[in-house]
Amino acid sequence: MPNSPFTSGVVQARLSAAELAHNFADISPKLDAHEARVAADRCYFCHDAPCVTACPTDIDIPLFIRQIATGTPDAAAKTILSQNIMGGMCARVCPTEVLCEGACVREMAEGKPVEIGRLQRFATDTLMDKGIHPFTRAKATGKKVAVVGAGPAGLSCAHRLAMLGHEVQVYEARAKAGGLNEYGIAAYKAADDFAAREVDWLLKIGGITIHYNKALGKDVTLAQLEADFDAVFLGIGLGGVNALGLAGADLKGVHNAVDFIEGLRQSAKADVAIGRDVVVIGGGMTAVDAAVQSRLLGAQNVTMVYRGPRERMSASEYEQEHATSAGVRIIYNAAPKAVHGSSHVTGVEFTFAGGDSFTIPADQVFLAIGQTLEGAPIALEGKKLKTNAGKVWAGGDCAAGGQDLTVTAVAEGRDAAMAIHAKLLG
């Protein structure tokens, strides 16, 4: 008998191939031309628009929407990409409900913002589907910059530097570029291998060489990079995960959510084993992505447990609703107390804020209690890297300032490139 959501234990293929394909299909497909026109017509072309202020990359949103409305989506894409070279991915993964769309005046007027994210995807997909890369490189400057990490921050920095005429060598610890876009985002948000396609498209600018499987501190050293290059940019992300620090955390069936999410991106869905009773500990986007995808794989019971109250949860209200509509149960105000089981996990015990304890049966547990900087090649500011130290710059999740969002990483990479450029030619 084939496996089903009711099969006990941690097993593969609880759902049919067709169900899995449906569950992991593009969650919010590209608008067609008519839909885009209707959506674009709703933009008021605000003065000093609040959506632009809310965008970490300062995309001129009213302008690109007007360009869509007037039948020039390629021009719209150029408006977007000139500020945010990963506008395609950001259109898919940005928490727009707390950024541009949250600030849209139509949110205030009618509770229904202009669909900025989907319009951005319409424009960028339209251009990228044609294979057009709208930027060209300036005259070569003769300067060389090393970028460590081919995630959103590193690639954004590399692209801008290449565009300005510098030569860029990228050192990436893993076998693929894209960083969290490739390894850390729910599969249905970046369907059809979009992360890899975006990297290929981005590299069309030229002047960027990526060296794979080259980790900082192991295969290359910062001292060597500083010696060989005119400047160095560190976009190394957060390599470590916070430990649960409880008895039983090392039982079989207890995993880091980031590893689970990565596995889903890098393997066929039917090959990923999932429990019948899954508990996700944490309250951020990673927790939501792990919980929702557990359900999509066919887990019967998925419970997400967060230690704080609903309003403190870092996953947005939209994300929380997305989780509950996928069938995830969310429990607030409950802190993990112990992980039970002999060799394999059987349940997780929690304590409510009031003091009462309860145990949720589990054959699989995902920990999503935060990521942390692993090793610090340069000085820290708080728990993260200083954004600039001598000829070394840092940006993205590993660096101080900003939220840990793709869009923030892109902005910081771009801004670091401009600072490096100013310094090198200054």
Partner 1 sequence: MANLTTDFIGIKSPNPFWLASAPPTDKAYNVERAFQAGWGGVVWKTLGSEGPPVVNVNGPRYGAIWGADRRLLGLNNIELITDRPLQVNLQEIKMVKRKWRDRAMVISLMVPCDEESWKDILHRIEDTEADGVELNFGCPHGMAERGMGSAVGQVPEYIEMVTRWVKTHSRMPCIVKLTPNIADIRKPAEAAKRGGADAVSLINTINSITSVNLDTFSPEPMIDGKGTHGGYCGPAVKPIALNMVAEIARSEATRGLPISGIGGVTTWRDAAEFMALGAGNVQVCTAVMTYGFKIVQEMISGLSDYMDSKGMTSTADLVARAVPNVTDWQYLNLNYVTKAQINQDDCIKCGRCYAACEDTSHQAIAMSEDRTFTVKDEECVACNLCVNVCPVENCITMVTLDKGAVDLRTGKKVEDYANWTTHPNNPSVAAE
**3-class secondary structure, 333:** coil
Q: Is 120 left (phi over 0), alpha (psi -120 to 50) or beta?
A: alpha
Residue by residue, DSSP assigns 61-93 as: HHHHHHHHHTT-HHHHHHHHHHH-TTHHHHHHH
- Residue 33 CB, shortest distance to partner 1, in Å, is 12
Nearer to partner 1 by C-beta: 41 or 321? 41
According to DSSP, residue 131 is labeled T
Closest approach, Cβ 298 to partner 1, in A, equals: 42
Closest separation in Å from C-beta 75 to partner 1: 15
C-alpha distances in angstroms, 55 versus 198, 302, 371? Answer: 20, 33, 24
Give the burial class of 380: count Cβ atoms within 10 A of its Cβ; 0-12 exposed, 13-18 middle, 19 or more buried. exposed
Q: Is the dihedral of CA 296, 299, 300, 306 positive or negative?
A: negative
Cβ proximity to partner 1: between 44 and 352 the closer is: 44
Q: In this complex, which beta carbon is closest to partner 1, that of residue 26 or of residue 107?
A: 107
State how far the Cα of 112 lies from the Cα of 179, in Å rounded to an integer: 33
DSSP single-letter state for residue 216: B
User: 49 or 164: whose CB is closer to partner 1?
Assistant: 49
CB of 45 to partner 1, least distance (A): 7
In angstroms, what is the minimal distance from the CB of 68 to partner 1? Answer: 13
Q: How many CB atoms lie within 10 A of CB 206?
A: 12
- Nearer to partner 1 among residue 39 and residue 264 (C-beta): 39
Encoded tokens for 57: 């990359």
User: Taking the complex as a whole, how short is the minimal distance between the CB of residue 90 and partner 1, in angstroms?
Assistant: 24
Q: What is the 3-state secondary structure (H, E, C) of 276-327?
A: CEEEEECCCHHHHHHHHHHHHHCCCEEEEECCCCHHHCCCCHHHHHHHHHCC
Residues 6+ apart with CB under 8 A from 322: 288, 292
The backbone torsions φ and ψ at residue 74, rounded to the nearest 5 degrees and listed phi first, read -65, -40
Kindly state the smallest distance separating residue 101's Cβ from partner 1, in Å.
14
In the complex with partner 1, the residue whose CB is nearer, 41 or 374, is 41
Which residue number, 114 or 399, has a Cβ lying nearer to partner 1? Answer: 114
At its nearest, how many Å lie between partner 1 and the CB of residue 329?
37
CA-CA distances (angstroms) from residue 39 to 66, 118, 230, 297?
11, 9, 46, 33
| Nearer CB in complex with partner 1: 35/262 | 35
**Contact positions vs partner 1 (CB under 8 A):** 37-38, 41-42, 44-50, 105-106, 108-109
Of the pair 105, 222, the CB lying nearest partner 1 is at 105
Closest separation between CB of residue 71 and partner 1, Å? 10
